[in-house]
Amino acid sequence: MAEHPQTHPAPSKPGAYPRGPERSSGARIRHKLSSNENPLGASPAAVAAIQAAAEGLWEYPPFLDDELRSALAAHHGRGLTPDHFVTGNSGCDVLNLIARAFLVPGDEAVICRPTFPIYETTARAAGATIVPVDLPADTFRYDVDALLAAVTPATRLLYLCSPNNPTGILLSAQQWADVLAGLPERVIVVFDEVYYHFITAADRPDPLADAADGANVLIVHSFSKAYGLAGLRLGYAAGKPELVAQAAALRLPFHINALCFAAGLAALKDDAHVARTVEVTLAGRDWLYGQLRELGLEAWPSQANFVLFRCPTSAPAAAWAEKLQGHGILVRPAFGLPDCLRVSVGLPEANQAFIDALGTLLE
Ligand SMILES: Cc1ncc(COP(=O)(O)O)c(C=O)c1O
């Protein structure tokens, strides 16, 4: 999938690449700042739970995901019940379940550009026609009028990503209220919030509360980001029970393996790791944004664990990514923005190495 391709071995510890591969440039990758992973690593509580659960791998996991859904309902409150949740093997898997559950050939899916490419991949695979809505190229802020204007009688799903990947831009509370008020009943919003832990803006929607109130929305969350479990593959969606049941009906029996169960339950209680992750990420995000601006580059204020910036010259972003690889830094050309790069927030040493490399390349 576009977000996850890695041609090199994963590090045993996050943030550093002691055994990094030789790239075409001949340099070792020292800092991987390309996949928005947790620079502090996995939730230690989840890792301990996985180790303990490994003993029991001879046995099938629970047939259903009831315990995890109950834990999610307790964790998120707002009057949500276990029936408001469906779990899957990652956020991407849940997005795929949703596309398969709700789209048939002839349906339309409204998708903003640029955004996470898996919406388009999964909606297309389900037979839908994609109706793109370009975000304004200067601010990348959502334009609700343009979104609603793209809705036709054939529209079934409308995707929102907030904070959006790759821009880091948030949908405001008023914008969300306008979307809900303006959509016909048959349109379901897929609201991807996998970066929600990193939001600092006070003006933010609470789609989970709207789901509890019966709104036509499915909210997608993942254990890959703040919990640091990208390698595990665990995610979920929340929405009103009638919608969730349609996605849940497509899962196979025993769809959540025993290690995922144990890790998910433990991670949800690991407040200390999430708090530390958020603290390190917010500090690094502010620092990176400030440094990019000091280098004279256009960067966008982010509400996620990455920062988007425009490359210094007219050379394509891919060429700049390659140059940075030559300095041992892996970043990602931003989907749909050929002159922009997205850098994940790392540990201070990695952030500094990235800025030093960029500074050197700009000299
Ligand atoms: C916006 C967005 N949604 C969903 C995902 C999927 O995450 P995962 O499949 O690792 O749970 C990602 C991963 O980077 C993402 O950026």
Ligand 1 centre from 91 Cα, in Å?
Answer: 5
- What is the C-alpha separation between 222 and 240, in angstroms, rounded? 18
**Buried-exposed string 236-262: b where 16+ CB fall within 10 A, e elsewhere:** bbbbbbebbebbbeebeeebbbbbbbb
Number of H helices, E strands in the chain: 12, 12
- Please report the pLDDT score of residue 28 as a whole number: 84
| Short-list 228, 229, 217, CA closest to 192 | 217
Query: For 240-254, what is the mean pLDDT?
Result: 96
Helix (H, G, I), strand (E, B) or coil at 133: strand
User: Which residues share a beta bridge with 217?
Assistant: 189
Ligand 1 centre from 361 Cα, in Å?
Answer: 31
For the chain, what percent of residues have pLDDT higher than 90?
90
Structure-token pair, residue 224: 């890959």
- Please report the pLDDT score of residue 19 as a whole number: 36
Phi, psi (rounded to 5 degrees) for 71:
-65, -40
Per-residue pLDDT of 70-118, as tens digits, reads: 999 999 999 999 999 999 999 999 999 999 999 999 999 999 999 999 9
For residues 137 and 167, the answer to whether their CB atoms sit within 8 Å is no
More confident of the two residues 268 and 6: 268
- Please report the pLDDT score of residue 363 as a whole number: 87
| Short-list 361, 272, 355, 280, CA closest to 322 | 361
Q: Which helix (H) or strand (E) holds 310?
A: strand 306-310
Structure-token pair, residue 198: 């990193």
The CB-side HSE value for 165 (13 A sphere, CA atoms) comes to 24
Ligand 1 centre from 2 Cα, in Å?
Answer: 10
Ligand 1 centre from 208 Cα, in Å?
Answer: 18
Q: Does the pLDDT value for residue 5 go beyond 70?
A: no
Query: For 252-272, what is the mean pLDDT?
Result: 97
Q: What is the dihedral of CA 318, 321, 323, 327, to 10 degrees?
A: -160
- Please report the pLDDT score of residue 239 as a whole number: 98
- Please report the pLDDT score of residue 315 as a whole number: 82
| Short-list 362, 314, 313, 307, CA closest to 332 | 307
Per-residue pLDDT of 160-207, as tens digits, reads: 999 999 999 999 999 999 999 999 999 999 999 999 999 999 999 999
| Short-list 146, 128, 127, CA closest to 136 | 146
Average pLDDT, the chain: 93
Q: How many CB atoms lie within 10 A of CB 70?
A: 14
DSSP-assigned letter for residue 213: T
Ligand 1 centre from 231 Cα, in Å?
Answer: 12
> Looking at ligand 1, which residue's alpha carbon is closest to its atom 6?
91
Q: Which helix (H) or strand (E) holds 76?
A: helix 66-76
Ligand 1 pocket residues where CB is under 6 Å? 3, 36, 90-92, 116, 161, 165, 192, 194, 222, 224, 230, 235
For residues 54 and 188, the answer to whether their CB atoms sit within 8 Å is no
Burial (CB < 10 A; 0-12, 13-18, 19+), residue 288, is buried
| Short-list 356, 291, 362, CA closest to 328 | 356
- What is the C-alpha separation between 216 and 116, in angstroms, rounded? 21
Closest atom of ligand 1 to CA, residue 222 = 11
Tell the residue number behind the tokens 């029991």, with chain if given: 56
CA distances to 35, 36, 40, 158 from 1, rounded to whole Å, are 12, 15, 24, 21
- Please report the pLDDT score of residue 314 as a whole number: 66
Confidence tier at 312 by pLDDT (50, 70, 90): confident
- Please report the pLDDT score of residue 349 as a whole number: 98
Closest atom of ligand 1 to CA, residue 3 = 14
Confidence tier at 13 by pLDDT (50, 70, 90): low
User: Which residues share a beta bridge with 130?
Assistant: 109
| Short-list 40, 19, 39, CA closest to 29 | 19
CA distances to 4, 54, 55 from 58, rounded to whole Å, are 30, 9, 8
- Please report the pLDDT score of residue 11 as a whole number: 45
Confidence tier at 16 by pLDDT (50, 70, 90): very low
Q: How many CB atoms lie within 10 A of CB 106?
A: 10
- Please report the pLDDT score of residue 26 as a whole number: 56
The domains located in the chain, with CATH, are 31-42+272-362 (3.90.1150.10), 44-269 (3.40.640.10)
Tell the residue number behind the tokens 């919030």, with chain if given: 193
**Ligand 1 mutation target, pool 4, 94, 116, most atoms within 8 A of CB:** 116
Per-residue pLDDT of 17-31, as tens digits, reads: 333 333 445 568 899
Ligand 1 centre from 153 Cα, in Å?
Answer: 29
Q: Does the pLDDT value for residue 45 go beyond 70?
A: yes
Q: Which of 3-12, 172-181, 287-296 has the lowest mean pLDDT?
A: 3-12
